[in-house]
Amino acid sequence: MSQYKLIHCTINGKEVEQMIDVRASLTDLLRNDFHLTSVKKGCEVGECGACNVLIDGEAFNSCIYLAAWADGKNIRTLESLTGPNGEISDIQQAFMEETAIQCGFCTPGFIMTAVEILETKKLYTRDELRKLLSGHLCRCTGYENILNAVEKTMKRRLGIPTE
Amino acid sequence: MSIVGKSEIRVDAFDKATGRTKYYEDRIPGGALYVRIKHAEIAHGFVKSVDTSEAERIKGVVKVLTCFDVPEIDFPTAGHPWSMDPGHQDVADRRLLNRHVRYWGDDVAVVIAQDEVAAMQGVRAIKVEYEALPFVLDAQKAMEDGAPQLHENAPHNILKHTSIRKGNYEEAIKEPGLIKVEGWYNTPTVQHCHIENHGCYAYEENGRITVVSSTQIPHIVRRVVGQALGRPWADIEIIKPYIGGGFGNKQDALYEPLCAWCSTQVGGRLVRIDCSREETFVSNRVRHAIRFHITSWIRPDGSMAARKVDLFSNQGAYASHGHSIVAKAMGSFPQLYPCDNMECDAYTVYTNIPAAGAMRGYGMPQASFANDSNIDECAHAIGMDPVEYRDRFIMPKGFEDGFSKNVNYYDSHRECLEKGKELIDYDRKKAEFALDKGPVRRGIGCASFWYNTAVWPIALETTSNRMLLNLDGTVTMQCGETEIGQGADTAFAQMAAQAIGLKNYRDVHVISCQDTDITPTGLGAYASRQTYVAGFSIRQTAEILRKKIFEYANKLTRQSVDNMDIVDGNVVRKGDGKVLISLKELAMTAQYNQQDSEHITAESTFTIQNNAYSFGCTFAEVEVDIPMCKVTVKNIVNVHDCGTLINPALAEAQVHGGMSMAIGYGLSEQLLFDQKTGRPLNNNLLDYKLSTFMDHPDLEAAFVENPEPTSVFGTKALGEPPACSGAPAIRNAIYNATGVALRTLPMNPHNLFAAFTEAGLIRDSFEEGK
């Protein structure tokens, strides 16, 4: 069995090719080979959501997604939300303004799931948002302000007034 | 213009929102060797031999070290300040790797390898031969004659026993007409579950050892690493970058000593230890499971004639923070609901489970559960509303604790209860819920808690601070207190900006990363003390800096030092407010003056000999599905008097997090062990149920802002208090809904089924109205 494989994929808008260890996770690939350290390791078995990234627009725990499977995929990490001049997206701004960040370790994963939710361009109730965000664990915030940040950004994007 | 008291955005928010914040693992230079630990697979016994030959043959394995190789030095791990009095020093009872295995998961050997896979394969290839001994998992069973002994100098496994005697309990209970309210209250072993696991890396440089670690307490860890390795403390440098939560687990020396030692065993090369989640649950620290027995003797009017409280704290295998936790728990009883005649006895007992240390609340989530459950039962016994009962008998205004000299300057408890009652609409809901008779019933309840802000007079309370005036008129600041996610740096920036007279909190650059070679000595994050204690050194250092600024400004402006102030970053004349010189111009002039150059800096240490009460309560509303044994929290409100809020938005966020932790503690969290082997059963985030997004309603945080007179900025503890009263409030709401007095956490379906069955609420068929 060959232990190494060449894969081609798009990471944060850039086409790349990379020789990977077939045993490596996508977390390993992103952190170790591309220094995308927003991808966090909290459990490495798909329980906490800290390593969440978008693969073809869908949120995945990258720790239980093999790097080999990334071949041909479009992968986005939190780093992709920051523009070339350092400008940040509305959802990042909302996390800052709503005090949705404390230790910050779960933040990248949460924001990327929020991006997945926001890109559906649908209006969800708070309870629906809870369910959509429930793949992530946070021990600092009690989730309250995270929910507020996502809800407010969703409503702003849909042109619905927020108080 | 007040900068303190405003809901400013965190100073680290942008970096965290963009993912550029670097935690320890993000900083490890390439080429680090991986250290992976062989954990014991028995609960108690001795390592007879370790066969490392197979592990050493694995490609990539550099070295295998075992419990037979480590220095013969016992060391303590608790994140307490050093005490010059040997009698007050922490118990030194473990080695870097242990031949005497005291719990399933104890550290017996390590593999150092070039990559993680080889290190883990190496660990699996190690063969350990044990002499297994009987083990004991329960604190009270460990105290019995003939129980397995964990440590030589702790007969009956009792690490420590302390008592409180007040009045005459035996005489007091003879008073006629007293009602006895008695019960056992059980709290489980739980874990902190910060999302970033603990890890660290170490290397040698110029004959010294550097450890970069996910810790709350760099200066204390420095001392412990020095002790464990038998090296002068100054040989050790600890660097603390941003950390992904701590909650007390990282208020202990965890794997820093072992990591540092491993580096010395491979010629000072860079080595890393990264705990897995499974290791974090078992081989770091846990919260003490404390069992309480409370006997309250109340008069028909509800007043407490006498009270007896026994506390049995399960310490696990090693002392860590030891007796401090149950001692604090015990200390709350005579204060929260004062009683003239009390007998309290607290025991901290070694058992063969993971070592318990500090965890958010430091004994108070346990004490609050037991105490406020019993108090609700007292109210029930005389038919009084439980909030009214508290209102009558909780600590009065003016109460002074002789030991800590703390004074309840305001009527904090009653003010918090009153506010909570209003916010949750207590009276109306209580009346409405009383009509529920079916299988699904609603209930409402509350619980109060007692808390101290800092550790004085038990231990040293010191804070140091350094300020540098930058050439642009801003100030760079270093604090010994650490940012661990709670927002300390932001609060410090706000306090410093105000104390110096800068325009904006952004004009203070807090160096978040502590480096014990550079950062002035502080004790780190614990005891909810940071904002309180840092305030003292921030004000003092700001005064020194201001004086130096005024002295230089005097040379440039001829105006008297005594007639100067700093407002919005300008030195002004007090009399008319005229701007004399901006700090920027002053700093540039001072720095580049060819005759009289000066880099204006200030540094100072403050010793605090005060402490402060921090009080509050939780109100909870629940829906109990009796046949399903399921509790849903429908509403929950925390009210805190933590003095003046430095940053209201951050304070609220801090309360939310504590409430969430309290809900998990109340309803679902417990670390379980196989009774037959002592093996942990659910040391992962799937089987250990911490609160998820789905498990609580919107969380409401409210405040009563009574400025703390001893505090520089009027502030006092808020870090831990929010985690204290949530579980008993939920418990009392269930009591209100069902009439069942639950006495064991967590109140999960498993425990509810037993309690509801015993109470006759669950039968084969549910009859409406009964």
Amino acid at B612: A
Taking CB atoms and an 8 Å limit, are B195 and A79 in contact across chains?
no
Token reading at B582: 């901006």
Q: Which residues of B touch A139 (CB under 8 A)?
A: 192-195, 245, 247, 657, 660-661, 690
DSSP conformation letters of A77-133: -GGGGS-TTS---HHHHHHHHTT--SS-SSHHHHHHHHHHHHHTT----HHHHHHHH
Of B243, B245, B693, the CB nearest to A139: B245
Region A54-64: what's the mean pLDDT? Answer: 98
Q: Which residues of B touch A134 (CB under 8 A)?
A: 692-694
Amino acid at A66: L
Residue ranges for chain B with pLDDT beneath 70: 1, 764-770
Q: How far B277 CA lies from chain A's nearest CA (Å)?
A: 5
Q: Residues B285-337: pLDDT tens digits?
A: 999 999 999 999 999 999 999 999 999 999 999 999 999 999 999 999 999 99
DSSP conformation letters of B62-127: EEEEETTTS-S--B--B-----SSGGGSPP--B-SS-SEE-STT-EEEEEEESSHHHHHHHHHH-E
Question: By C-alpha distance, which of B91, B104, B111 is closest to B45?
Answer: B104
Side by side, the strands of the sheet bearing B179-186 are: B158-166, B342-350, B304-316, B289-298, B179-186
Q: How far A76 CA lies from chain B's nearest CA (Å)?
A: 13
Taking CB atoms and an 8 Å limit, are A102 and B657 in contact across chains?
yes
Task: Tell me which H or E stretch contains B335.
Answer: helix B323-336
Taking CB atoms and an 8 Å limit, are B9 and A96 in contact across chains?
yes
Of B117, B653, B684, the CB nearest to A141: B653
Chain B residue at shortest CA distance from A50: B195
Taking CB atoms and an 8 Å limit, are B656 and A97 in contact across chains?
no
Taking CB atoms and an 8 Å limit, are A99 and B653 in contact across chains?
yes
Going from the C-alpha of B315 to that of each of B224, B319, B354, the distances in angstroms are 20, 7, 8
Beta bridge partners of B298: B179, B304
Chain A residue at shortest CA distance from B686: A47
Of A103, A133, A145, the CB nearest to B693: A133
Looking at residue A163, its pLDDT comes to: 72
Enter the ipTM: 0.98
Q: Residues B601-634: pLDDT tens digits?
A: 999 999 999 999 999 999 999 999 999 999 999 9
- CA gap B662, B650 in Å, rounded: 18
Question: By C-alpha distance, which of A147, A98, A149, A92 is closest to B694?
Answer: A147
Token reading at A86: 């350092």
In 3-state terms chain A splits into helix, strand, coil percentages (rounded to 5) of: 40, 20, 45
Taking CB atoms and an 8 Å limit, are B277 and A47 in contact across chains?
yes
Taking CB atoms and an 8 Å limit, are A23 and B117 in contact across chains?
yes
Of B17, B650, B684, the CB nearest to A107: B17
Taking CB atoms and an 8 Å limit, are B696 and A50 in contact across chains?
no
Of B195, B277, B699, the CB nearest to A142: B699
Task: Tell me which H or E stretch contains B546.
Answer: helix B530-557
Q: Which residues of A touch B9 (CB under 8 A)?
A: 96-97, 99
Q: How far B208 CA lies from chain A's nearest CA (Å)?
A: 29
Show the DSSP H helices in B643-712 as ranges: 648-667
Q: Which residues of A touch B16 (CB under 8 A)?
A: 101, 104, 107
Of A37, A96, A137, the CB nearest to B26: A37
Q: Which residues of B touch A88 (CB under 8 A)?
A: 14, 17-18
Chain A residue at shortest CA distance from B484: A103
Looking at residue B671, its pLDDT comes to: 98
Looking at residue A162, its pLDDT comes to: 84
Q: How far B726 CA lies from chain A's nearest CA (Å)?
A: 13
DSSP conformation letters of B166-225: ES-HHHHTTSTT-EEEEEEEE---B----SSPPEEEEEEETTEEEEEE--S-HHHHHHHH
Q: Which residues of A touch B484 (CB under 8 A)?
A: 103
The answer to whether B720 and B657 are in contact (CB under 8 A) is: no
Taking CB atoms and an 8 Å limit, are A144 and B20 in contact across chains?
no
Per-residue pLDDT for A19 more than 80?
A: yes
Size of interface A-B (CB pairs under 8 A): 165
Looking at residue B770, its pLDDT comes to: 46
Taking CB atoms and an 8 Å limit, are A41 and B197 in contact across chains?
yes
The burial of B163, by beta-carbon neighbours within 10 Å (0-12 exposed, 13-18 middle, 19 or more buried), is given as exposed
Q: How far B500 CA lies from chain A's nearest CA (Å)?
A: 26
- Going A98 to A100 to A103 to A105, the CA torsion angle's sign is negative
Q: How far B652 CA lies from chain A's nearest CA (Å)?
A: 9
Looking at residue A70, its pLDDT comes to: 98
Taking CB atoms and an 8 Å limit, are B652 and A95 in contact across chains?
no
Chain B residue at shortest CA distance from A126: B698
Amino acid at B314: N
Taking CB atoms and an 8 Å limit, are A99 and B650 in contact across chains?
yes
Q: How far B671 CA lies from chain A's nearest CA (Å)?
A: 17
Token reading at B682: 């659910």
Q: What single DSSP character describes residue B356?
A: B
Looking at residue B763, its pLDDT comes to: 79
Probe site for chain A from B114, B693, B694, B698 (most A CB atoms < 10 A): B693
Q: How far A90 CA lies from chain B's nearest CA (Å)?
A: 11
Amino acid at B477: M
Q: Which residues of B touch A111 (CB under 8 A)?
A: 17
Q: Which residues of A touch B487 (CB under 8 A)?
A: 102
Q: Which residues of B touch A42 (CB under 8 A)?
A: 195-197, 244, 277, 685
Q: How far A42 CA lies from chain B's nearest CA (Å)?
A: 5
Per-residue pLDDT for A114 more than 50?
A: yes
Q: How far A51 CA lies from chain B's nearest CA (Å)?
A: 11
Side by side, the strands of the sheet bearing B271-274 are: B61-66, B107-113, B33-39, B271-274, B199-205, B208-213, B236-240, B514-515
